[in-house]
Amino acid sequence: MSELDIQISVEEGGWPAEEHLRALATRALEAAARVLAREEAQPFPPQAPEVSLVFTGDAEIRGINAEWRGMDKPTNVLSFPAWPLTPGAMPGPMLGDIILAEETLAREAMELGKPFDDHLTHLLVHGFLHLFGYDHMEDGEAEKMEGLETRILATLGLSDPYGDHPD
């Protein structure tokens, strides 16, 4: 498996330093890619595929959420695949974009009693799986995606995000 070409843009919000975000994202996304390759036989292109991470705030993500999903409210993470992909299919050189909102993420971490970085890691993995066609709209899909998230996070020493609270 090739490594990932992670592009980062910090647009607004009280995010940690870009170097910290890059280290955390690299660790999380490469762990996710390894689990996908090993457990799901997910192929990867020979050249490192690019993923774009946008770290922004509630106001910006609210506008994006309203425009693209018809939901006029902030959310924690949005994923936009470069093109539709079904799990197990070969991605192209550009995986897509993952956009995260700092205020929502910080509030959720506090409500869950989890460190900010742990919750951010979970949402990066969650967004990354969406780029590969995983979803959680139906029970079977949700079970598959949440199981993958849990196993990926376990490789990073993080607890099951779905077992710790009722969701």
**What pLDDT digit, counting tens, does each position of 122-159 carry?**
999 999 999 999 998 788 888 999 999 999 999 999 99
Q: Has residue 25 got a pLDDT over 70?
A: yes
Residue-range definition of the domain harbouring residue 32: 5-155
The DSSP code sequence of 19-83 is HHHHHHHHHHHHHHHHHHHHHH-----SSPPEEEEEEE-HHHHHHHHHHHHS--S--SEEEEESS
Domain total of the chain: 1
Q: How confident is the model at residue 165 (pLDDT cuts 50, 70, 90)?
A: very low
pLDDT at 71: 87
Query: What is the SS3 assignment for 18?
Result: helix
Please list the residues that pair with 9 across neighbouring strands.
54
Tell how far CA 99 is from the center of its chain. Answer: 8
**63-86 pLDDT per residue, tens:** 999 999 988 999 999 999 999 999
Dihedral sign, Cα of residue 127, residue 128, residue 133, residue 138: negative
pLDDT, mean of residues 32-47: 95
The stretch 18-42 carries a mean pLDDT of 97
- Is position 165 within any domain? no
3-state secondary structure of 103: helix
Residue, of 3 and 100, whose pLDDT is higher: 100
pLDDT band at 2 (very low <50, low <70, confident <90, very high): low
Q: Which of 12, 10, 16, 42 is nearest to 29 (CA)?
A: 42
150 falls within a domain:
yes
Q: What is the mean pLDDT of the chain?
A: 93
Instruction: Answer whether residue 143 is part of any domain.
Output: yes
Please check whether residue 109 lies inside any domain of the structure: yes
**167 pLDDT higher than 80:** no
Q: How confident is the model at residue 138, as a pLDDT?
A: 82
- Tell me which residue of 45, 60, 31, 38 sits closest to 2, measured CA to CA: 45
Residue 55 has pLDDT above 50, yes or no: yes
Q: Does 73 reside within a domain?
A: yes
**Coil, helix or strand for 11?**
coil
Share of the chain above pLDDT 90, in %: 86
For residue 161, being part of any structural domain is answered with: no
Domain of residue 79, CATH code: 3.40.390.30
